[in-house]
A and B are shown apart, each in its own frame.
Chain A
Amino acid sequence: MADKKKKNLPPDVQEYQTFQQQREVKRPVLKNCLKAFFVGGFICFIGQLISTFYMYFFHFTEQTAGNPTVATLIFITMLLTGFGVYDRIGQFAGAGSAVPVTGFGNAVISSAIEHRTEGFILGVGTNMLKLAGPVIVYGVFSAFVVALIKTILVQWGGL
């Protein structure tokens, strides 16, 4: 796609883009993947500890322990975001802290904090899901599509 876009540009622009790409500092992808793997894994490990804690002390089952575990993780994220720590973890860990539920929590909470100065309705209310909104929209949409495919296969495909 990048090449296709490039073809329509004037030659001096194309030449400059090649020139600057040689000098651009690339994202250290392998290093980032490793960091993301370990930090993401660590967050999941904490999640597992919390989950086990709820099952052991509060008579939750493996199925029902999920909800309080997620709530606890998001609460911790809220504190870390509010105290200005989570964005530093995010810069270090990348996808490792963005993909787990804590990343979703951070997206909502950081937007809510950020827009507090514009008031609770038009500021916090309107902007809270500014970053997390797409996740919800496309999450619901893809669930709908998957459900549709499943229904068609089960009803008419005889699976």
Chain B
Amino acid sequence: MLQGHQTWVFANRPVIISTGTVGGPFEANGNIPKDFDILHDDMWLGQASFEKAQQTLMEEACQIALKKTSIEKEQVQFFMSGDLIYQITPTNFAAKTLGLPFFGLFNACATSMESLALAAMIINNKGANYILSGTASHNASAERQFRYPTEYGGQKPPTAQWTVTGAGCSLVAKQGTGPVITSATIGKVIDMGITDPFNMGAAMAPAAVDTIEKHLQDRNISPDYYDLIATGDLGHIGREISYDLLVDRGLSLDEERYVDCGLIIYREGQPVLAGASGSACSAVVTYGHLLNRMKAGELKRILIVATGALHSPMSIQQNDPIPCIAHAVSIEI
């Protein structure tokens, strides 16, 4: 229930009973290939366009999440998802294939935790028994919409990030075995006047800090409560900035327990500059890597703070700053 100003605490303990994660060739070559259910070696996934490939990623992630359980698709009430591409069309088509009642969401890269928070809220209030929530992104489809053609030889600055090709999906249930969603904090849009779309880490860092601060205040806990606080896709620069901001605000955090999904997914040496980004980044790392670590007993309580940059190519060209948001969801076992 509502606790404090912007946090929900879920008394009925909605459970993530299953997850599905899919990645592309670049992720297969990365740091956590074992945490993916499917890895593709072709960026196109045999489809006619990158957008269709992204749709396929989303569909596969949902299918795997269902396949791992005894739940039939017909038992699922809602599908909640979104992505980065024009009017979330790849997700809309995936929703058509799934044939489930559908909530289309957009909070850029924060969509992963937005959908998880809403799914948990609905289930907690007995609005559904099972909900599929997830998100997908594709490197080439995001590149071509937000930046330049994929084969264009423009030089990117060291602050640029690499969009993850992949999809992560979770099946949230009223009861069952698995990690429990205990609370969620819905963030505000924060705009700190950053206009450079190649420096999204610095743009999103204040949003992440604001949400973390509000979450801890609302729940009246200290950062030590969590074994791990993972931000979505801040990259090297954003992570460092947000860490310093948190310390400035008197939240002493153990540096090792403050990680970024955008720095977990790829290896050192991959040409990703400041780190990974994209809506699938926090989804695949959380639903794959982090939940696997929880199941292995390494982590008990984690807070995922998915960060999103809510700009469009048009707003950037019109010299508007990048509005940013972050949503936090706590998962405990």
Q: Which of A9, A24, A103, A111 contacts B149 (CB 8 A)?
A: A111
Chain A interface residue number, banded: 35 or more
Q: Tell whether, in the assembled complex, residue A16 and residue B152 are in contact, meaning their CB atoms are under 8 Å apart.
A: no
Interface mask (A1-29 → B, CB under 8 Å = 1, otherwise 0): 00000000100011011011001111110
When the two chains form their complex, are residues A117 and B49 in contact, meaning their CB atoms are under 8 A apart?
A: yes
Hey, what's the 0/1 contact readout for A97-124 against B, CB within 8 Å counting as 1? 1100001001101110111010000000
Cβ–Cβ < 8 Å partners of B159 in chain A: 24-25
Give 18 new A-B contacts, CB below 8 A, not counting A91-B153, A98-B155: A17-B193, A19-B244, A23-B241, A24-B237, A25-B157, A25-B159, A82-B151, A86-B151, A87-B153, A90-B153, A91-B155, A91-B156, A93-B153, A95-B155, A98-B154, A107-B152, A111-B149, A114-B150
Q: How far is the CA of A126 from the CA of B158 in the complex (A)?
A: 32
Q: Please, which residues of chain B bring their CB within 8 A of the CB of A40?
A: none
In the complex the two chains form, is A23's CB within 8 Å of B240's CB? Answer: yes
Give the interface of A toward B (CB within 8 A).
Answer: 9, 13-14, 16-17, 19-20, 23-28, 32, 81-82, 84, 86-91, 93-95, 97-98, 103, 106-107, 109-111, 113-115, 117, 131
CB distance from A110 to the nearest CB of B (A): 4
How many B residues face the partner with a CB closer than 8 A? 33
Q: With A23-B237, A114-B144 in contact, is A87–B152 under 8 Å at CB?
A: yes
A26 to B196, CA, bound (A): 13
Which chain A residues lie closer than 8 Å to B245 at the CB level? Answer: 19
Q: How far is the CB of B258 from chain A (nearest CB, A)?
A: 15
A97 engages B153 (CB within 8 Å)? yes
Known: A20-B205, A23-B240. A9 touches B152 (CB 8 A): no
Contact assessment for B158 and A20 in the assembled complex, using a CB-CB cutoff below 8 Å: no
Inter-chain contact total with CB atoms closer than 8 Å: 98
CB distance from B240 to the nearest CB of A (A): 6
B308 contacts the other chain (CB 8 A): no
A12 — nearest CB in chain B belongs to which residue? B192
A9-B193 CB under 8 A given contacts A23-B202, A114-B144:
yes
Contact of B193 with A110 in the complex, beta carbons under 8 Å = no
Closest to B47 in A: A117
Residue in A closest to B195 when the chains form the complex, CB atoms: A5
CA distance A17 to B154 in the complex (A): 26
> Please, which residues of chain B bring their CB within 8 A of the CB of A97?
153
Q: Can you list 19 A-B contacts with CB-CB less than 8 angstroms, sorted by A residue number?
A: A19-B245, A20-B205, A23-B202, A23-B237, A23-B240, A24-B159, A24-B199, A24-B202, A25-B159, A81-B153, A82-B151, A87-B151, A88-B271, A91-B153, A94-B155, A106-B151, A109-B151, A110-B150, A114-B149
Asked if B236 is an interface residue, CB under 8 A from chain A, the answer is yes
B221 on interface, CB distance cutoff 8 Å: no
Binary interface encoding of chain B residues 148-187 relative to chain A, with 1 for a CB under 8 A from any of its CBs, else 0: 1111111111110000000000000000000000000000
| Across-interface contacts of A25 in B (CB, < 8 A) | 157-159, 236-237, 274
Q: Which of B50, B150, B158, B240 is within 8 Å of A87, CB to CB?
A: B150
| Bound: A110/B150 CA distance, A | 7
Task: Kindly report which residue of chain A lies nearest to residue B153, judged by CB atoms.
Answer: A90
Of A20, A81, A98, the contact of B202 (CB 8 Å cutoff) = A20
Quick one: given A20-B194, A25-B274, are A114 and B151 in contact (CB under 8 Å)?
yes
1/0 contact string of B49-93 vs chain A (CB within 8 Å):
111000000000000000000000000000000000000000000
Find chain B residues with CB under 8 A from A95 CB: 155
Q: Give min CB distance, B232 to chain A, whole Å.
A: 18
Q: How far is the CB of B49 from chain A (nearest CB, A)?
A: 4
Q: Which residues of chain A come closer than 8 Å to B237, judged between CB atoms?
A: 23-25
Q: Are A131 and B158 in contact (CB under 8 A)?
A: no
Chain A residues in 8 Å Cβ range of B49: 117
Contact string against A for B residues 189-201, beta-carbon threshold 8 Å, 1 for contact and 0 otherwise: 0011110000100
Least CB separation from B202: chain A residue: A20
Among B191, B202, B274, find the residue whose CB has the most chain A CB atoms closer than 10 A: B202
Query: Of all chain A residues, which has the CB nearest B271?
Result: A91
Residues of B within 8 A of A87 (CB): 150-154
Counting chain B CB atoms within 10 Å of each CB, the highest count among A28, A93, A114, A131 belongs to: A114
The 10 lowest CB-CB distance pairs between A and B, nearest first, are A90-B153, A114-B149, A94-B155, A110-B151, A110-B149, A117-B49, A110-B152, A25-B158, A20-B202, A13-B193
Q: Determine the chain A residues whose CB is within 8 A of the CB of B156 once the complex forms.
A: 91
Report the bound CA distance from A15 to B154 in whole Å.
31
In-complex Cβ contact of A113 among B151, B157, B193 (8 A) = B151
